[in-house]
């Protein structure tokens, strides 16, 4: 273990370093003999407690970089399929939030959209009010889903 048993001063110094690892002034006044004993003490702690060292690093990483909260989404191009009263010149870019958790009113999910599928969607909101265009050909609007948006598959 130690050639000489560490003095109380070295134990105190080690505790101060654990509490304040960024403080360079702690080591400024350490005698050469105490520095050697401190190095031996640190080495012993690392060798005998490798799990503790890893746990401390993981905890520090969790504090510095907490897990991200993410939401899946898709942006899909859609157009109005109900054109009895007026032609559907306008298209929309629809941002679908939490697409991986999306459920239709029927069995199964709607997260895997295919070209040509038809859905009736309720409770959409505009995302860019200033970019809202009229009904002339080639115009586009920008919409997104809400938590209470409902998807019903239309055949």
pLDDT, tens digit (0-9, with 9 covering 90-100), for 51-96: 776 787 888 888 888 888 888 888 988 887 666 777 777 888 999 9
Number of domains the chain is built from: 2
Residue 135 domain flag: yes
Residues 142 and 80 in one domain: yes
Separation between Cα atoms, residue 39 and residue 119, nearest integer Å: 69
Q: What's this model's pTM, rounded to 2 decimal places?
A: 0.51
Residues 136 and 115 in one domain: yes
Residue 1 domain flag: no
Q: 121 Cβ partners below 8 Å, 6+ apart?
A: 94, 145, 149, 150, 151, 152
Residues 47 and 90 in one domain: no
Residues 38 and 88 in one domain: no
Domain that holds residue 54: 8-64
């Amino acid at each position: 273990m130690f050639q000489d048993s560490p003095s109380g001063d070295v134990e105190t110094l080690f505790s101060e370093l654990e509490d304040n690892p960024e403080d360079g002034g702690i080591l400024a006044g350490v005698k050469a003999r105490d520095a050697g004993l401190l190095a031996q003490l640190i080495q012993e702690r690392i060798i005998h407690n490798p799990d503790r060292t890893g746990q401390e690093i993981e905890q520090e990483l969790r504090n510095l970089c907490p897990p991200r909260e993410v939401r899946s989404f898709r942006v899909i191009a859609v157009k109005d399929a109900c054109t009895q009263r007026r032609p559907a010149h306008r298209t929309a870019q629809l941002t679908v939030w939490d697409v991986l958790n999306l459920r239709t009113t029927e069995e199964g999910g709607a997260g895997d959209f295919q070209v040509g599928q038809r859905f009736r969607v309720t409770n959409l909101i505009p995302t860019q009010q200033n970019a809202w265009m009229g009904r002339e050909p080639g115009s586009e609007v920008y919409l997104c889903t809400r938590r209470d948006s409902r998807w019903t598959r239309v055949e």
